[in-house]
């Protein structure tokens, strides 16, 4: 059985049908890419999955249970984490605290333990910190050491994207949703991100849904690609098959020729 | 600056080295402050605070210090709600009132109940926190400005209720019952009594409040450095992202609201016990403004900032009651501003010299024109004031002329701030400073009530210009 499934999900805003009757399934350990021209509804799909929007119709099943209608934080607790297309870090908190804060759902120290600084509290706190440092170490040297205590706003754009991934990892997800992780990165950094996504699957056993405009990233890493246009699935299959699909080419060419890069 | 030759990253990386190399007092303070753990700071705070009654038997001074500790504790509660969780709660002072009135009900003849304070305090904390929860749960659905307006209304309603619930028909009572004492409040409350010790003197109260402040600081510090505190701040920074990272934002907001209310209620009880009475007017908007001024002045979310903020906000208006002290503060303030604003330093000295020369010339001219226009300077017991008055003119009808001069001063200050050329600015500063001193001596020093407010206002404005994040606040960035 698939780890994650969308069954006939629809969503509209006013008169605009943003997602219509979309079904898709993701197997444990798969990397699935969602592509499509601007405004196709990719981010909306992530918002539906994470509970920010409630679907008009259809079912969302994760790990064998329906999650549509649950609170956002409950869905995260069940094991779905995400990054945001327009970066939403806690800018005035330190880098390590950005990551540590995401351990909230996985920790349990109560008011008493916190105020009295009991041994149980210290143990948990040290554990959180160690895990957070380990998540940051995933990105090599870039976010470690003296950087831990720096505020998040002091980071470069690419590092902010990395920090967001680290923060998402801290929630201990099974399914990771990445919304354009390579946006605004240079070719070398883009290459790094591609490798990193592979590492996340291979070393942490994560299942990943990836939204990306950079066809290099999509082609390099995806097990399967799903193309959306106007909220509908227009193609699904291997990257080669989808990239050469006439409907997909038309969807991109019809609106924006620059989108087809490869 | 030379530091710019190395990258920002290196600059940050070398922070420790710089601190260790720093010389003199500054270096010593930087090093100690790094090494001293938070409870070390608390011990320093309590130890220094406890010295005060040893140094002085002056009840006036000790009372001010007690007020500082009380307002500091109250502001700590607000700091959780506004500084950490980012909820603009303008009804906060009502919880202070709820705590105070609950104390009055639990320890006075008004209700006939006389609980010792150590029994009533836990009850008061729970009741205030419950009120926080009850009022928080509907209003926390609102965002930003709406929350502010609704809570402001709540604060007003509290004062109204306490003023007007004097004739309430209750079942089982024939005549209407007075629930609150109305505008005359509830008086003759029991003294604070902790485990057999009863607070009688100002010093007793001060010491209790000092310890309470220290404990509150420690509790809030611990909460801040924990999963809950991190979640609060995360929710302040970006509520949606916090929720998406698994933090139950609604519950966290309620918790912040409740702990703020509990701290406020607790301080309110101590206030009531100290004052020995409660009146609705104790909990009006003036107090709200002071508490907000404390946390804004100190820096939102900063705990040492709360302490410094309450020292300034409580002590300044009280000290300024005294004309001699106010005068000293005024001249020191002007001098420090000049030294800070004018480079190189010798220009400051030149400027002061020129102002005196200017004053002497004005005096000669006025004396030659109309000798009767000048009043004999009244000598005060302040050296500075006497020195100034020896060359300044004090007109006979000082009030009117002083008022005009005040208007002129505002125009001159605006004018000087427009002059870019440094020599001309220095030249223009001479008469401006003269008029400033003239206005102070003829008008402001005579009206302490106005001066106090003016002082605090100017202080806040100047501070917010130079340090928009408060005295000890961290740099805050909204969007980058
Ligand atoms: N909350 C909302 N209210 C109204 N319209 C919305 C909302 N969210 C998204 N939309 C609309 O839905 C459509 C799809 O948006 P979405 O962000 O999902 O596109 P996308 O595929 O992620 O595009 P991009 O590649 O530019 O990120 C757009 O036309 C957008 O304007
Ligand atoms: Mg998008």
Residues of chain A contacting residue B476, judged by C-beta atoms under 8 Å apart: 92
CA distance A197 to B181: 69
Nearest CA distance, B33 vs chain A (angstrom): 17
- Characterize B323-352 residue by residue with b for buried, 16 or more Cβ atoms within 10 angstroms of its Cβ, and e for exposed: beebbbbbbeeeeeebeeebeeeebbeebe
Q: What is the pLDDT of residues A107-121, one digit of tens each?
A: 999 999 999 999 999
How many Å separate Cα B477 from the centre of its chain? 24
Is the shortest distance between the CB of A13 and ligand 1 below 6 Å? yes
**pLDDT at res. B211:** 93
> Cα dihedral sign for A83, A86, A88, A94?
positive
Is residue A163 packed enough to be buried (19+ CB in 10 Å), middle (13-18) or exposed (0-12)?
Answer: buried
Q: What is the pLDDT of residues B284-318, one digit of tens each?
A: 888 998 899 899 888 888 898 999 999 988 888 77
Q: How confident is the model at residue B319 (pLDDT cuts 50, 70, 90)?
A: confident
CB atoms within 10 A of CB A164: 24
**pLDDT at res. A261:** 47
CA distance A201 to A207: 6
Q: What is the pLDDT of residues B48-87, one digit of tens each?
A: 999 988 888 888 889 999 999 999 999 999 999 999 999 9
Mean predicted lDDT score pLDDT of chain B: 86
Quick check: pTM over 0.80?
A: yes
Does B241 contact chain A (CB < 8 Å)?
A: yes
Is the shortest distance between the CB of A47 and ligand 1 below 6 Å? no
Does B244 contact chain A (CB < 8 Å)?
A: yes
Q: Are B94 and B283 in contact (CB under 8 A)?
A: yes
Interface touch B13/A91, C-beta < 8 Å: no
**pLDDT at res. A126:** 96
Does B82 contact chain A (CB < 8 Å)?
A: no
CA distance B49 to B46: 5
Q: Are A26 and A6 in contact (CB under 8 A)?
A: no
CB atoms within 10 A of CB B120: 23
Is the shortest distance between the CB of A42 and ligand 1 below 6 Å? yes
The widest CA-to-CA distance across chain B, in whole angstroms, is 85
Q: What is the pLDDT of residues B326-338, one digit of tens each?
A: 788 788 888 888 8
Q: Are B150 and B74 in contact (CB under 8 A)?
A: no
Mean per-residue pLDDT for A46-63?
94
Mean per-residue pLDDT for A245-249?
90
Contacts (Cβ under 8 Å, ≥6 apart) of A203: none
Give the gyration radius of chain B's Cα atoms.
27
CA distance B208 to B346: 49
Nearest ligand 1 atom to alpha carbon A41:
18
CA distance B157 to B151: 10
Q: What is the pLDDT of residues A168-198, one digit of tens each?
A: 999 999 999 999 999 888 999 999 999 999 9
Interface touch A105/B246, C-beta < 8 Å: yes
Mean per-residue pLDDT for B153-174?
87
- In chain A the domains, ranked by start, together with CATH numbers, are 1-79+173-262 (3.40.50.300), 91-171 (no CATH)
**What's the N-to-C CA distance of chain B in angstroms?**
24
**pLDDT at res. B479:** 53
Considering only residues A64 and B196, tell me which one the structure prediction assigns the higher pLDDT: A64
Crossing angle (nearest 10°) for helices B448-466 and B323-341:
20
CA distance B290 to B314: 8
Domain positions in chain B:
56-301, 325-446
**pLDDT at res. B13:** 62
CA distance A64 to A207: 15
Does B222 contact chain A (CB < 8 Å)?
A: yes
CA distance A97 to B26: 29
Nearest ligand 1 atom to alpha carbon A40:
21
CA distance B413 to B432: 7
Mean per-residue pLDDT for A9-31?
93
- The four Cα atoms B378, B381, B387, B389 give a dihedral, to 10 degrees, of -20
The structure tokens 């709360």 sit at B306
Distance between Cα A85 and ligand 2 center (Å): 6
Distance between Cα A49 and ligand 1 center (Å): 15
Q: Are B266 and B122 in contact (CB under 8 A)?
A: no
CA distance A50 to A75: 6
Nearest CA distance, A76 vs chain B (angstrom): 5
Neighbouring-strand partners of residue A229 = A232
Q: Please determine, for residue A95, whether its predicted confidence score (pLDDT) is greater than 90.
A: yes
Using alpha carbons only, give the angle B298, B301, B307 rounded to the nearest 5 degrees: 40
Neighbouring-strand partners of residue B361 = none
Is residue A227 packed enough to be buried (19+ CB in 10 Å), middle (13-18) or exposed (0-12)?
Answer: buried
* Residue A87 three-state SS: coil
Distance between Cα B48 and ligand 2 center (Å): 57
Task: Tell me which long-range contacts A20-26 makes (C-beta under 8 A, separation of at least 24).
Answer: A20/A230, A20/A231, A20/A232, A21/A58, A21/A232, A22/A58, A22/A228, A22/A231, A22/A232, A22/A233, A23/A58, A23/A233, A24/A226, A24/A233, A24/A236, A26/A2, A26/A175, A26/A207, A26/A209
Is the shortest distance between the CB of A44 and ligand 1 below 6 Å? yes
Residue A36: which of A235, A204, A222 has the closest Cα?
A235
Q: How confident is the model at residue B4 (pLDDT cuts 50, 70, 90)?
A: very low
Interface touch A125/B226, C-beta < 8 Å: yes
Give the up-direction half-sphere exposure of residue B465: CA atoms within 13 A in the CB hemisphere.
5
Residues of chain A contacting residue B246, judged by C-beta atoms under 8 Å apart: 73, 76-77, 81, 102, 104-106, 171
**pLDDT at res. B444:** 77
Query: If you ran DSSP here, which 8-state letter would residue B166 be given?
Result: T
Mean predicted lDDT score pLDDT of chain A: 91
Distance between Cα A44 and ligand 1 center (Å): 6
């Amino acid at each position: 059985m698939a780890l994650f499934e969308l069954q006939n999900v629809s969503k509209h805003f006013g008169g605009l049908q943003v997602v219509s009757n979309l079904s898709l399934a993701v197997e444990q350990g798969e990397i699935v890419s969602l592509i499509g021209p601007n405004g196709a509804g990719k981010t909306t799909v992530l918002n539906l999955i994470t509970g920010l929007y409630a679907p008009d119709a259809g079912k969302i099943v994760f790990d064998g249970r329906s999650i549509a209608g649950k609170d956002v934080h409950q869905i995260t607790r069940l094991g779905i984490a995400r990054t945001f297309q327009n970066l939403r870090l806690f800018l005035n908190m330190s880098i390590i605290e950005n990551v540590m804060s995401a351990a909230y759902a996985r920790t349990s120290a109560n008011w008493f333990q916190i105020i009295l600084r009991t041994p149980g509290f210290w143990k948990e706190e040290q554990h959180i910190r160690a895990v957070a440092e380990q998540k940051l170490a995933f990105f090599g040297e870039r976010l470690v050491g003296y950087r831990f205590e720096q505020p998040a706003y002091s980071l470069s754009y690419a590092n902010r994207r990395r920090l967001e991934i680290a923060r998402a990892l801290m929630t201990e997800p099974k399914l990771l949703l990445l919304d354009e992780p390579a946006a605004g990165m240079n070719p070398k950094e883009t290459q790094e991100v591609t490798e990193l996504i592979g590492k996340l699957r291979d070393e942490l056993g994560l299942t990943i849904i990836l939204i990306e405009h950079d066809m290099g990233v999509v082609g390099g890493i995806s097990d399967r690609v799903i193309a959306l246009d106007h909220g509908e699935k227009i193609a699904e299959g291997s990257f080669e098959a989808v990239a050469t699909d006439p409907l997909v080419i038309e969807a991109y060419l019809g609106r924006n020729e620059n989108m087809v890069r490869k | 600056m030379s530091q710019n030759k190395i990258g920002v990253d290196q600059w940050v990386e070398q922070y420790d080295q710089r601190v260790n190399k720093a010389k003199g007092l500054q270096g010593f303070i930087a090093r100690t402050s790094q090494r001293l753990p938070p409870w070390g700071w608390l011990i320093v705070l309590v130890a220094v605070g406890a010295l005060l009654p040893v140094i002085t038997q002056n009840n006036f001074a000790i009372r001010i210090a007690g007020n500082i500790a009380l307002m500091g504790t109250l502001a700590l509660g607000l700091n959780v709600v506004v500084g950490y969780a980012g909820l603009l709660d303008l009804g906060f002072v009502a919880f202070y009132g709820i705590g105070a009135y609950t104390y009055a009900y639990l320890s006075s003849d008004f209700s006939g109940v006389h609980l010792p304070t150590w029994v009533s305090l836990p009850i008061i904390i729970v009741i205030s926190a419950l009120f926080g929860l009850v009022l928080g749960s509907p209003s926390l659905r609102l965002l930003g400005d709406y929350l502010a307006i609704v809570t402001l209304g709540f604060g007003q309603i509290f004062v109204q209720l306490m003023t007007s619930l004097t004739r309430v028909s209750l079942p089982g009572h024939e005549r209407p019952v007075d629930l609150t004492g109305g505008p005359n409040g509830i008086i003759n409350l029991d003294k604070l009594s902790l485990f057999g010790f009863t607070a009688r003197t100002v010093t007793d109260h001060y010491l209790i409040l000092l310890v309470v402040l220290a404990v509150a600081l420690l509790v809030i510090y611990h909460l801040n450095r924990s999963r809950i505190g991190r979640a609060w701040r995360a929710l302040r920074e970006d509520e949606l992202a916090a929720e998406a990272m698994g933090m139950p934002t609604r519950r966290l907001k309620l918790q912040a609201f409740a702990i703020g209310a509990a701290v406020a209620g607790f301080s309110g009880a101590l206030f009531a016990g100290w004052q020995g009475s409660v009146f609705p007017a104790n909990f009006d908007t003036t107090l709200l403004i002071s508490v907000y001024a404390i946390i804004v002045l100190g820096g939102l979310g900063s705990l040492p900032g709360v302490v410094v903020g309450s020292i300034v906000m409580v002590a300044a208006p009280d000290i300024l009651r005294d004309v001699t002290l106010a005068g000293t503060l005024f001249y020191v303030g002007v001098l420090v501003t000049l030294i800070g604003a004018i480079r190189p330093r010798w220009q400051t000295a030149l400027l002061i010299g020129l102002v005196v020369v200017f004053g002497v010339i004005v005096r000669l001219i006025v004396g030659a024109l109309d000798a009767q226009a000048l009043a004999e300077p009244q000598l005060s017991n302040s050296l500075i004031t006497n020195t100034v008055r020896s060359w300044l003119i004090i007109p006979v009808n000082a009030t009117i002329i002083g008022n005009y001069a005040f208007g002129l001063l505002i125009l001159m200050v605006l004018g000087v701030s427009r002059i870019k050329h440094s020599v001309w600015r220095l030249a223009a500063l001479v008469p401006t400073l003269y008029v400033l001193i003239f206005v102070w001596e003829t008008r402001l020093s005579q009206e302490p009530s106005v001066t106090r407010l003016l002082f605090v206002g100017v202080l806040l404005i100047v501070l917010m210009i130079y340090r928009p994040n408060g005295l000890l606040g961290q740099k805050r960035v909204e969007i980058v």
